[in-house]
């Protein structure tokens, strides 16, 4: 067999799932399970304990990241490869934080999947070049800026990212509305952002990154 490691594949698009499984099996990979939703994938993971799981990041019932989090909490030592059609900085950072072994764009050729499996099988990590560049050029610089924030400012920023108003934040933290507004002003200044649309756009773009602080 080309690769003796056991593999589980999950994708909610049946044609894409079949295509990937067929391609893997034609190359000699040992696919022992496949599923079309996150809950089923989690059950199979905990039952079969495959060496590698290739998961679509967006699936019904449980997302790929939710599957990984729950499986890891249950003591599963499977190594995970995430597949995505999206190039969102927050999700890439979250994948890094979770210790996910591989992260690939669905548009990549199958050769990229083979390279990823080879690296992951050897205990290494493999992210698409697009994501590696994203970490260096976008995520790391944003993290550097976020480290300038005080503990209180980070707390308020997380709450803003959760769509809470200044009034709600003030009530929850038992501080004055004026204090919240002052913190928000300081955050915008430290992050070198303008107010209004630029601030709202930045919050939306880096929501996952902010919530992970």
> In this structure, which topology does domain 148-211 adopt according to CATH?
Arc Repressor Mutant, subunit A (1.10.10)
Q: Where are the domains of the chain?
A: 3-134, 148-211
Burial class (CB in 10 A: 0-12, 13-18, 19+), 66: middle
* 181-185 contacts at long range (C-beta below 8 A, 24 or more positions apart): 183/152, 183/153, 183/156, 184/156, 184/160
**What class is the 3-134 domain?**
alpha beta
Q: What pLDDT does residue 88 have?
A: 67
Average pLDDT for runs of 10 along the chain of length 213:
79 88 90 92 93 90 90 90 76 71 85 89 83 70 81 92 92 93 90 78 80 73
What are the start-end ranges of the H helices in the chain? 14-26, 38-48, 64-73, 89-97, 110-121, 129-134, 140-146, 151-161, 166-173, 177-190, 197-205, 207-211
CA neighbours closer than 13 Å in the CB half-sphere of residue 31:
19
Q: What pLDDT does residue 51 have?
A: 92
Beta bridge mates, 33: 8
Closest to 5 in 3D by CA, of 41, 42, 48: 48
Q: What pLDDT does residue 1 have?
A: 46
Q: What pLDDT does residue 189 have?
A: 87
Closest to 30 in 3D by CA, of 11, 54, 2, 49: 2
Q: What pLDDT does residue 170 have?
A: 94
Yes or no: say if 7 and 55 are a contact pair by the CB < 8 Å rule.
no
Q: What pLDDT does residue 89 have?
A: 64
Q: What pLDDT does residue 174 have?
A: 93
């Amino acid at each position: 067999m080309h690769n003796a490691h056991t593999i589980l594949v999950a994708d909610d698009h049946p044609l894409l799932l079949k295509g990937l499984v067929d391609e893997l099996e034609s190359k000699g990979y040992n696919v022992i399970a496949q599923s079309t939703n996150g809950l089923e994938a989690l059950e199979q993971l905990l039952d079969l304990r495959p060496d590698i799981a290739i998961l679509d990041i967006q699936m019904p019932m449980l997302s790929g990241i939710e599957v990984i989090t729950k499986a890891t909490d249950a003591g599963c030592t499977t190594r995970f490869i995430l597949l995505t059609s999206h190039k969102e900085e927050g999700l890439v950072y979250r994948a890094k934080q979770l210790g996910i072994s591989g992260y690939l764009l669905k548009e990549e050729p199958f050769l990229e999947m083979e390279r990823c499996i080879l690296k992951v099988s050897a205990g290494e990590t493999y992210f698409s070049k697009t994501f590696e560049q994203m970490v260096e050029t976008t995520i790391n610089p944003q993290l550097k800026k976020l480290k300038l924030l005080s503990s209180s400012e980070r707390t308020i920023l997380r709450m803003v990212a959760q769509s809470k108003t200044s009034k709600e934040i003030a009530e929850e933290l038992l501080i004055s509305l004026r204090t919240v507004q002052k913190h928000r002003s300081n955050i915008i200044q430290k992050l070198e952002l303008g107010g209004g649309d630029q601030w709202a756009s930045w919050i939306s773009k880096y929501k996952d990154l902010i919530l992970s602080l």
